[in-house]
Amino acid sequence: MTQPYYDLDVRPVLRDGGEPFSLIMQAVSALAPGQSLRLFATFKPLPLFQVLGARGFDASAREIGNGDWEVIFTPSGAAAEAEQRTAMADQSGDAWPAPVDELDNRDLEPPEPMVKTLEGVEALQPGQTIAALLPREPVFLFEELEARGHSWRGQMEPEGHFRVVIRAGNPQR
């Protein structure tokens, strides 16, 4: 099971003209073994990548609007840990290919929405994507996708259902 992020928002400090470096280092030393730091800043903190890289953290950054950035520093310790990270909800901004299919699994009784979605995923080539509409946030499906090394992006739609796009990872059985 993955640990929740340690969240640190230094945007208020930066906006007030302050220097958040000591705050960040405090947060880093407060991390549990294997825990990641999620940092919110008003710019892409490139110097920090080097500082924390030297301490064994991998950084992945993405712009979250209004010029703000979300950076996740993951301890690059055990290989298993890293593998788990890549299989998690995909947070990177890179473009995915268009879904090869769009499944509507909203009106199926549980656990059929999950079964049909995974049947679709298993038919994909690595790197291909598939989209599925589900009656609610599919927490057990996420667990299964993670175990199988696939990544996903998803959100609740205003109509009350959940739309997930899944990209097939490298086959691992």
Residues of the shown chain interacting with another protein in the complex, contacts defined by CB under 8 A = 1-2, 4, 88-89, 107, 109-111, 114-122, 135-137, 139-147, 154, 160
Beta carbon of residue 115, minimum distance to another protein (angstroms, whole number): 5
- On whether the CB atoms of residues 130 and 101 are closer than 8 A, the answer is yes
Nearer to another protein by C-beta: 46 or 123?
123
Beta carbon of residue 44, minimum distance to another protein (angstroms, whole number): 23
Nearer to another protein by C-beta: 20 or 169?
169
- DSSP H helical ranges for the chain: 11-15, 21-29, 46-54, 79-87, 112-122, 139-148
Beta carbon of residue 80, minimum distance to another protein (angstroms, whole number): 13
Cα separation of 98 and 111, whole Å? 26
Beta carbon of residue 73, minimum distance to another protein (angstroms, whole number): 18
- On whether the CB atoms of residues 73 and 57 are closer than 8 A, the answer is yes
Nearer to another protein by C-beta: 102 or 107?
107
Nearer to another protein by C-beta: 42 or 86?
86
How long, in residues, is the chain?
173
Residue 166 phi, psi (nearest 5):
-115, 130
